[in-house]
Chains A and B, each alone.
Chain A
Amino acid sequence: DAKTTQPNSMESNEEEPVHLPCNHSTISGTDYIHWYRQLPSQGPEYVIHGLTSNVNNRMASLAIAEDRKSSTLILHRATLRDAAVYYCILRVNRDDKIIFGKGTRLHILP
């Protein structure tokens, strides 16, 4: 399975942007980069995914390095409700199972 590396934890101030990094140096050409997050006492929820180009949706932006060996999830204006564990995951195709790593625990300071 392709692997990702994320910092164990990060802190950010409320109402400021947050950049969550992910390294995936062994990524193959067909691997999609997915991000999920798990709020306290809830199941994980999908955040965003991309292949090569940067992606934006209502929740976040995904910036993918040109060599695809790293990516950054960007929360443009963090709120207290964004405090969660964020998982960066590589998926080969639409039938591929999701293997969760340890993720990054994001703390938001009021």
Chain B
Amino acid sequence: SAVISQKPSRDICQRGTSLTIQCQVDSQVTMMFWYRQQPGQSLTLIATANQGSEATYESGFVIDKFPISRPNLTFSTLTVSNMSPEDSSIYLCSVEDPVAYEQYFGPGTRLTVT
């Protein structure tokens, strides 16, 4: 299994600002994913981030709003840009273990935009 940590665990931000969320994994992984979970809702996939290539965004999510970096096999960042109150959510990263055919999720970053 993989252990995933995220920073920050929570933050309160003002509208119009940006926040960068870090995701650290304790082992090398190829595939990393970023999800958003709005209050009381299920998880929505934002993008897939593979090391060495540009992130692939899902419908409704764009790179200008959610730029992603994947500099190595253990780390990724998601930036939430020009935030509005609608961006208030929990943001989670996950990694795929292709051998076990399982995904492991981080604890999430709870973002509140005022």
Contact = CB atoms under 8 A, between A and B. Distances in A.
Interface of A: 32, 34, 36, 38, 42-46, 49, 85, 87, 91, 94-95, 97-103
A46 to B, nearest CB: 4
B108 A102 contact: no
A59 to B, nearest CB: 12
Q: Interface SS of chain B: helix, strand, loop or mixed?
A: strand
Given A45-B105, A99-B45, 13 more contacts: A38-B43, A42-B108, A43-B4, A44-B92, A44-B94, A46-B103, A87-B42, A94-B101, A95-B96, A100-B43, A100-B45, A101-B42, A103-B42
In the complex, which range does the number of interface residues on chain B fall in?
Answer: 20 to 34
**Interface secondary structure of A, over-half rule:** loop
